[in-house]
Amino acid sequence: MIHVTNLTKRYAGRTAVDEISFDVGRGEIVGFLGPNGAGKSTTLRMLTCYLSATEGRASVAGFDIFKDSIKVRKRVGYMPENVPLYLDMRVKEYLQFRARLKGMGYRESRAATDEAMDTCGLTDVQRKMINTLSKGYRQRVGLADALVNKPDLLVLDEPTNGLDPNQIRQVRDLIRQLGERHTILISTHILHEVEMTCGRVIILDKGQIKASDTPQNLVRRLRALGTVSVQVKGSPEAAMKEIEAMTGVRSVKHTITRQDWARIEIETEANTEICEEIFQIAVAKKWKLRELVQKTASLEDAFVNLTINKKEKKSDD
Amino acid sequence: MRAFTIIFWKELRSFFLSPLAYVVMALFTMLSGFLFVNMVKAMTANVNPQSLVFNLFSSGWFWMGFFILFPLITMRLFAEERKMGTLEGLFTAPVRTSEVVLAKFASTVVAYLVLILPMFLFFPIFKSLTGETAAFNDGALWGSFLGLLLVGILNIAIGVFASSLTQNQLIAAMLTFVGVMLHYMFGYLHHMSALPQSEFTAGLTYFSTVEHMQTLSDGLIDTRPMIYYLSFSAMLLALTHHVLEYRKWQA
Ligand SMILES: Nc1ncnc2c1ncn2[C@@H]1O[C@H](COP(=O)(O)OP(=O)(O)O)[C@@H](O)[C@H]1O
Ligand SMILES: [Mg+2]
Q: Domain segments of chain A: what residues?
A: 2-220, 225-316
- Candidates A224, A233, A223, A229; CA nearest to A287 is A233
Stretch (H or E) spanning B46: none
Interface predicted TM-score (ipTM): 0.86
Q: Please give the distance, rounded to the nearest whole angstrom, from the Cα atom of residue A16 to the centre of ligand 1.
A: 6
The CB density around residue B137, as the number of other CB atoms within 10 Å, is 14
Note the pLDDT of residue A284: 87
Is the pLDDT score of A315 beyond 60? Answer: no
* % of chain A exceeding 70 in pLDDT: 90
Note the pLDDT of residue A317: 38
**CATH no. for A2-220:** 3.40.50.300
Note the pLDDT of residue A311: 45
Alpha carbon distances (Å) from B8 to A83, A173, B5, B62: 23, 37, 5, 29
Amino acid at A228: V
**What architecture does CATH give domain A225-316?**
2-Layer Sandwich (3.30)
Q: Which of B92, B95, B97 to mutate to test the interface with A (most CBs of A within 10 A)?
A: B92
Stretch (H or E) spanning A28: none
Note the pLDDT of residue A116: 94
Residue A25: pLDDT band by 50, 70, 90 thresholds?
very high
Alpha carbon distances (Å) from A85 to A50, A142, A164, B83, B90: 16, 7, 20, 11, 10
- Collect all residues with Cβ–Cβ distance below 8 Å to A180 and sequence separation of at least 6: none
Residues of A in contact with B10 (CB under 8 A): 97
Is the pLDDT score of A224 beyond 60? Answer: no
User: Alpha helices, DSSP H only, in B94-137?
Assistant: 97-130
Q: Which of A8, A18, A42, A79 to mutate to test the pocket of ligand 1 (most atoms within 8 A of CB)?
A: A42
With a 6 Å cutoff on the Cβ, whether A252 touches ligand 1 is no
Q: What is the mean pLDDT of chain A?
A: 86
Are the Cβ atoms of A84 and B86 closer than 8 angstroms?
A: yes
Under 8 Å between Cβ of A186 and A159: yes
Whole-prediction pTM value?
0.83
Q: Please give the distance, rounded to the nearest whole angstrom, from the Cα atom of residue A8 to the centre of ligand 1.
A: 13
What is the position in ligand 1's atom list of the atom closest to the CA of A81?
21
Are the Cβ atoms of B249 and A52 closer than 8 angstroms?
A: yes
Interface of A with B (CB under 8 A): 11-12, 45, 48-52, 70-71, 73-74, 76, 78, 80, 82, 84-89, 97-98, 100-103, 145
Stretch (H or E) spanning A206: none
Q: Which of A11, A52, A83 to mutate to test the interface with B (most CBs of B within 10 A)?
A: A52
Instruction: State whether residue B248 sits within 8 Å of chain A by CB.
Output: yes
Note the pLDDT of residue A316: 40
- Candidates B84, B72, B81, B131; CA nearest to B101 is B81
Residues of A in contact with B6 (CB under 8 A): 97, 100-101
CA-nearest residue, atom 4 of ligand 1: A11
Show me where the domains of chain B are located: 2-250
Lowest mean pLDDT among A1-10, A266-275, A304-313: A304-313
* CA gyration radius, chain B: 19
With a 6 Å cutoff on the Cβ, whether A236 touches ligand 1 is no
Residue A221: pLDDT band by 50, 70, 90 thresholds?
low
CA A266 to chain centre: 30
* CA gyration radius, chain A: 25
Q: Which residues of chain B have pLDDT under 70?
A: 48-49, 133-136, 189-207, 210, 217-219, 251
DSSP letter (8 states) at residue A298? P
Is the pLDDT score of A75 beyond 90? Answer: yes
Ligand with an atom nearest the CA of residue A51: 1
Instruction: State whether residue B64 sits within 8 Å of chain A by CB.
Output: no
Q: How far is B51 from chain A (nearest CA, A)?
A: 45
**CB-CB: which of A11, A84, A87 is closest to B89?**
A84
Express each pLDDT in A250-306 by its tens digit: 788 887 778 888 888 888 776 677 888 888 888 888 888 888 887 766 666 666 666
What is the position in ligand 1's atom list of the atom closest to the CA of A207?
14
- Bridge-based pairing state of the strands A183-188 and A153-157: parallel
Are the Cβ atoms of B89 and A103 closer than 8 angstroms?
A: no
Express each pLDDT in A125-166 by its tens digit: 999 999 999 988 999 999 999 999 999 999 999 988 878 888
Residues of A in contact with B14 (CB under 8 A): 86, 88-89
Express each pLDDT in A159-213 by its tens digit: 888 788 888 888 888 888 888 888 999 998 877 778 778 889 998 988 999 888 8
Note the pLDDT of residue B153: 94
With a 6 Å cutoff on the Cβ, whether A37 touches ligand 1 is yes
* % of chain B exceeding 70 in pLDDT: 86
CA-nearest residue, atom 27 of ligand 1: A37
